Structure 1
Amino acid sequence: MKRIVVSGYYGAKNAGDEAMLAAMLEVLADLDPELHITVITADPADTERRHGVHAVGSFDMGGILGALRRADLLISGGGSLLQNVTSRRSLYYYMGIILLALLLGKKVMLYAQGIGPVTGRFACHCMRWLGNRVSLITVRDEGSMAELRRLGITRPPMECTADPVLGIHPVGREAGRAILSSCGADGAKPVVGISVRDWQGWQHYKEILAEISDAVVRELGARVIFLPMQYPEDVKTAKTVAAWTQEECTVLADEYSTSELLSLVANMDLMIGVRLHALIFAGVMGVPMIGISYDPKVDRFLRSIGEKPVNDLQDITTASVLKEVRRKWAARHEFTAANADLLTQMRGLAARNAELAMGLVRKKL
């Protein structure tokens, strides 16, 4: 039996990261149903229940060491693990797991990573040293490939693929429709989703999003649904925005599974997203999207599908977002058809990550 250990930001109730893990496990299981996978996670019980895999705690060093000793491969990823913008400590944690695997003589793959930004001489030196000693690197966008080159990482095979979530199977609309019905948000009106997150305590963009929500209701006759991707933090942020609205809107206040969130997105006619994976979910389900950037990873994803953010959180204005809303709304039916071929290609690139990982496990690379 082949064994893989997966290290990432799992068990923290972040829907995007849980979707990445679900997509990764889905494709790996398709390639080898007998594969044994252990996930390093903040909440082992939740990860085991949610994903049906063995799990060890993020700081259970005995469990991590034991799992790595038995492993054929450490997968680090997906996600934006190797950066020190949102957290300086987490970069060293994930590099520490990689270092431990290397010291044990194990193969390491950086899997569909969003690399950087990495700042500071010492952090860049550590990244360069470790990055040049792993077995294989795949990144989810060209911006991450450029960051690898900037850091001086050149030795391992490197390939630009796509975010693992783009390889997940689309789902039906029924589960999402039932959730909306239970919230009293069903009916014949079109639906516009908004995904928000808190960022550095800023308030201005939340007031702007409240104005946008009101305008969407008034101009489009649509129902506005706030979708939480990080529970419960995004619920709190969405409620802050909703408190400033004058028109009716709905805040989804529960925690949802990956398949439930995908199904909810499938019921939307347009997604306005700050969260990266809300935009990726829209891509998977063929829903037109408008991205508002807070991090280079949002810009990079949108660029990969021929889009660009309408604003970032600092310079967001009601007028600029509404202009894009009107443009996308008028062409929303054409969007799905135009993006179908591109998303098929992206799904193939997302699956390529798992194929390369299994190549390492089977010693073909």
Structure 2
Amino acid sequence: MRAVLCGYYGMGNGGDEALLASLLQMLPSEITPIVLSGNPQQTHDRYGVECCDRKSFLSVVQALRRSQMLIWGGGSLMQDATSAISPFYYGGLMKLAQWMGLTTIAWAQGVGPLNHPISRWLAKQSFKGCDGVSVRDRGSAAWLNDWQIPFVLAPDPVWAMESEPVKGLWDLPAPRVAVNLRAHRLLTPDRRATLTRALADFQKATQTCLILLPFQKSQDLAIAEFIQPQLPGASKILVLENPQELKGVFRGVEMAIAMRFHGLIMAAAEGCRCFALSYDPKVSQLMTDLDIPGWELSEIPTSANQISQTWIELYANGDALSDDQIGSLVDRALMHQDILQIVKRSP
């Protein structure tokens, strides 16, 4: 059986690449994947799977014609906060697959924000036609409850993604702290400058090596390059495109300060103390669910000293998730694998 895997793959975003790696890890052996990718050659080289260009309508239709299943694979695909086009692209693809008679699965979805009525209607119609649905958070579950659509709720599958060691990481001075900031309208120049001063003060106090970790080069790298020259101690910008290595970085750090949703999940899964800077409801929900300390980006203190003192306190006295907590999250994340077993009931 062939399945087309559709998500924000091959677009240079470490979190979405982690979702693809997790999906391929969980995919039943009976399924041969065809991945829709923004960079088909890179995706093929990384995972050894058949790929086609997600932007080529003809290639996508040909892939669907050769397949028996479409797996709508993970993350915040049905949302209109960052792109009003996303609901049309993903919803249109789902309805096309359903019209062609494919088995359709919405896997590990993060639904919303859906600010516009047409986006909500598209999402509802797309999910309603699916043969199986799993979601990764309570906010997404609330949408599906409102629409009276059956679903499985489980933690994000990246909790269960296997990590890989990072060459050269252990050569960097210890102890180490990972930092991930991304471009966002709420990360104003003033806030960026304040956070940079706070990181410098934190480093002076703790004598840590700061690893600046871009998850998406187009949005994160420039910020890392802005911060690094202003740090007084050892630091390293670590650009990794393999999502399993991205997760592996957190094996070798004591603490993570992160904006990105999957940066926090990877860090927590590897036993790091975490501090969140939330720019999105999914990050705020994760903070609540796991009791992760942090601030809404719009409400961070204006005093660099107050920020650095908060980080120093967490570094000195904070707790990571326990092994039992991590084990439970990993086990429950594997519930997303169960929804893929629908293949055994498909013609």
TM-score, normalised to structure 2, is 0.92
Number of matched residues?
344
Q: Which amino acid counterpart does residue 315 of structure 1 have in structure 2?
A: E
Which residue number in structure 1 is paired with residue 237 of structure 2?
252
Which residue number in structure 2 is paired with residue 4 of structure 1?
3
Aligned alpha-carbon RMSD (Å):
2.1
SS in 1 for 2:34: strand
Matched, 1:72 2:60: no
SS in 1 for 2:345: coil
Give the whole-Å Cα distance in 2 for the aligned partners of 1:229 and 1:127.
27
Which residue number in structure 2 is paired with residue 311 of structure 1?
295
Which residue number in structure 1 is paired with residue 269 of structure 2?
284
Summarize the alignment of residues 191-210 of structure 1 with structure 2, pairs less than 5 Å apart. 191-200=176-185, 202-210=188-196
Give the whole-Å Cα distance in 1 for the aligned partners of 2:12 and 2:177.
24
Residues 264-295 of structure 1: per-residue CA shift (max 9 Å, x gap) = 22111100001111111102211111111001
Specify whether residues 249 and 95 from structure 1 end up closer, same or farther in structure 2 by C-alpha distance, changes over 3 A only: farther
* Deviation of the 1:66 alpha carbon: 2.0
Which residue number in structure 2 is paired with residue 354 of structure 1?
337
Q: 1:235, 1:253 within 8 Å by CA — same for their partners in 2?
A: no
Q: Which amino acid counterpart does residue 23 of structure 1 have in structure 2?
A: S
SS in 1 for 2:78: coil
Q: 1:231, 1:255 within 8 Å by CA — same for their partners in 2?
A: no
Which residue number in structure 2 is paired with residue 166 of structure 1?
159
Matched, 1:154 2:148: yes
* Deviation of the 1:198 alpha carbon: 0.4
Specify whether residues 216 and 136 from structure 1 end up closer, same or farther in structure 2 by C-alpha distance, changes over 3 A only: same
Aligned mate of 2:325, from 306, 331, 342? 342
Matched, 1:111 2:107: yes
* Deviation of the 1:35 alpha carbon: 2.3
* Deviation of the 1:249 alpha carbon: 5.0
Q: 2:199, 2:308 within 8 Å by CA — same for their partners in 1?
A: no
* Deviation of the 1:108 alpha carbon: 1.5
Aligned mate of 1:231, from 204, 217, 222? 217
* Deviation of the 1:78 alpha carbon: 0.7
**Identity of matched residues, %:** 26
Q: 2:181, 2:224 within 8 Å by CA — same for their partners in 1?
A: yes
Q: 1:168, 1:284 within 8 Å by CA — same for their partners in 2?
A: no
Matched, 1:40 2:36: yes
Specify whether residues 224 and 253 from structure 1 end up closer, same or farther in structure 2 by C-alpha distance, changes over 3 A only: closer
Give the whole-Å Cα distance in 2 for the aligned partners of 1:248 and 1:281.
25
* Deviation of the 1:328 alpha carbon: 2.3
Which residue number in structure 1 is paired with residue 87 of structure 2?
91
* Structure 1: runs of 5+ lacking an equivalent: none
Give the whole-Å Cα distance in 1 for the aligned partners of 2:317 and 2:67.
49
Q: 1:232, 1:255 within 8 Å by CA — same for their partners in 2?
A: no
Q: Which amino acid counterpart does residue 356 of structure 1 have in structure 2?
A: I
* Deviation of the 1:135 alpha carbon: 1.6
Give the whole-Å Cα distance in 2 for the aligned partners of 1:363 and 1:330.
52
Query: Does 312-321 or 347-356 show the bigger shift?
Result: 312-321
Give the whole-Å Cα distance in 2 for the aligned partners of 1:104 and 1:47.
26
Give the whole-Å Cα distance in 2 for the aligned partners of 1:261 and 1:81.
22
Q: 2:240, 2:246 within 8 Å by CA — same for their partners in 1?
A: no
Q: Which amino acid counterpart does residue 159 of structure 1 have in structure 2?
A: V
Aligned mate of 1:218, from 193, 204, 216? 204
Which residue number in structure 2 is paired with residue 262 of structure 1?
247
* Deviation of the 1:103 alpha carbon: 0.9
Q: Which amino acid counterpart does residue 272 of structure 1 have in structure 2?
A: I
Give the whole-Å Cα distance in 2 for the aligned partners of 1:69 and 1:126.
23
Give the whole-Å Cα distance in 2 for the aligned partners of 1:324 and 1:111.
37
Q: Which amino acid counterpart does residue 326 of structure 2 have in structure 1?
A: L
Give the whole-Å Cα distance in 2 for the aligned partners of 1:196 and 1:254.
13
Specify whether residues 260 and 127 from structure 1 end up closer, same or farther in structure 2 by C-alpha distance, changes over 3 A only: closer
* Deviation of the 1:251 alpha carbon: 4.2
